[in-house]
């Protein structure tokens, strides 16, 4: 097995990526591990101005620190009527007060916005950096809209207010109401990392 480090300390994200890339991990003999497997790894300052830049910063640092091929992602919610924000500031939209505060602030900002103008997209950049410096990055966009209230107990972040496009009228669910396997089949992270698969095959095939 070839170990590949995902630049996160969140075990949920590690497990989610293992599910998303299960086929390619089996094909290439890859084992995805998180940063917790390597002890005290310093945090990376995410000072990029795009999702791609921040994902690349995290993957580069993980590759340099561990000496292994490294994956990372950076994602957020881009609301059209807000000019694409929260965007790269999604996790810190309320000033670092956490997911609940982020949701409440966003819903308050959109309180008077009509349903037809609440379109949004989850955006994810996935990056691969090899120990020798070779790298690649891909983007995934997941279209939807912002609900008027939070619903569902699954997922994290903005999932409880994000309604994916393409659902039948009257049956719309937020992403937090999706089962984990449903989300992993269609999400922005799934789209971005699956777009990265050709690069994984190019750089990590035995």
**Alpha helices for the chain (secondary structure H):** 11-20, 22-28, 51-66, 99-109, 180-186, 188-195, 197-204
Per the CB < 8 A criterion, the answer to whether 78 and 84 are in contact is yes
pLDDT digits (tens, 9 = 90+) for 149-204: 999 998 889 999 999 999 998 999 999 999 988 988 899 999 999 999 999 999 99
Helix, strand, or coil (residue 156) = coil
Q: Which two tokens stand for residue 205?
A: 């095939």
109 φ/ψ angles, rounded to the nearest 5 degrees:
-65, -30
Please name each of the domains of the chain with its CATH number: 2-204 (3.90.950.10)
Q: Cα separation of 187 and 189, whole Å? A: 5
Cα–Cα distances (Å) from 182 to 91, 144, 178, 179, in that order, read 23, 15, 6, 5
Looking at residue 10, its pLDDT comes to: 87
**Strand (E) or helix (H) holding 119:** strand 119-129
pLDDT digits (tens, 9 = 90+) for 104-150: 999 999 999 999 999 999 999 999 999 999 999 999 999 999 999 99
Q: Which of 74, 80, 99, 115 is catalytic?
A: 74
Return mean pLDDT, the chain: 94
Per the CB < 8 A criterion, the answer to whether 21 and 13 are in contact is no
Is 74 among the residues known to form the active site? yes
């Amino acid at each position: 097995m070839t170990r590949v480090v995902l630049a996160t300390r969140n075990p949920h994200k590690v497990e989610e990526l293992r599910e998303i890339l299960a086929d390619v991990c089996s094909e290439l003999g890859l084992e995805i591990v998180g940063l917790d497997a390597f002890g005290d790894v310093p945090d990376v300052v995410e000072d990029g101005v795009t999702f791609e830049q921040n994902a690349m910063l995290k993957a580069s640092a993980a590759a340099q620190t561990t000496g292994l091929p490294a994956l990372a992602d950076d994602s957020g919610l881009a609301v059209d009527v807000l000019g694409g924000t929260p965007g790269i500031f999604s996790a810190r939209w309320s000033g670092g007060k956490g997911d609940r505060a982020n949701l409440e602030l966003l819903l308050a900002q959109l309180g008077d916005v009509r349903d037809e103008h609440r379109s949004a997209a989850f955006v994810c950049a996935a990056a691969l950096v090899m120990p020798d410096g070779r790298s690649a990055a891909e983007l995934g966009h997941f279209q939807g809209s912002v609900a008027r209230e939070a619903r569902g107990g699954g997922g994290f972040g903005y999932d409880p207010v994000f309604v994916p496009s393409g659902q039948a009228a009257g049956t719309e669910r937020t992403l937090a109401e999706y089962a984990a396997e449903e989300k992993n089949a269609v999400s922005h992270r799934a789209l971005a990392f699956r777009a990265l698969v050709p690069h994984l095959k190019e750089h990590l095939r035995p």
